[in-house]
Amino acid sequence: MLIAGLTGGIASGKSFVAAELKELGAQVIEADQLGHEVLAPGGSAFQPTVDAFGPEILNPDGSINRSRLGSLVFGKPEALAKLNAIVHPAVHELAQQRFRKIANQEPKAVVIYIAAILVETGGYRQFPYLIVTKCSREQQIERALQRPGATLADVEARLARQLPLEEKLAVATHVIDTGGTPDETRRQTKIVFEQIREMAS
Tell me the pairing of strands 2-8 and 27-30: unpaired
Dist. CA 38–CA 69, nearest whole Å: 14
Q: What is the mean pLDDT of residues 123-135?
A: 95
Q: What is the mean pLDDT of residues 42-55?
A: 96
Check for a shared fold between 1-26+109-201 and 31-106. Answer: yes
Mean pLDDT of the chain: 93
How is domain 1-26+109-201 classified at the CATH fold level?
Answer: Rossmann fold (3.40.50)
The 10s digit of each residue's pLDDT in 76-125 is: 889 999 999 999 999 999 999 999 999 999 988 999 999 988 998 898 99
Q: Is the pLDDT of residue 150 over 90?
A: no
- Residue type present at position 192: V
Residue 112 CB neighbours (<10 A):
24
Going by C-alpha positions, the residue among 108, 133, 111, 105 that lies closest to residue 28 is 111
Dist. CA 134–CA 145, nearest whole Å: 17
Q: What is the mean pLDDT of residues 35-59?
A: 96
Classify domain 31-106 at the CATH superfamily level: P-loop containing nucleotide triphosphate hydrolases (3.40.50.300)
Locate the domains of the chain by residue range. 1-26+109-201, 31-106
Query: Phi and psi of 76, rounded to 5°?
Result: -125, 90
Q: How confident is the model at residue 64 (pLDDT cuts 50, 70, 90)?
A: very high
pLDDT for position 201: 65
Side-chain-side CA neighbours of residue 162 (13 Å) = 22
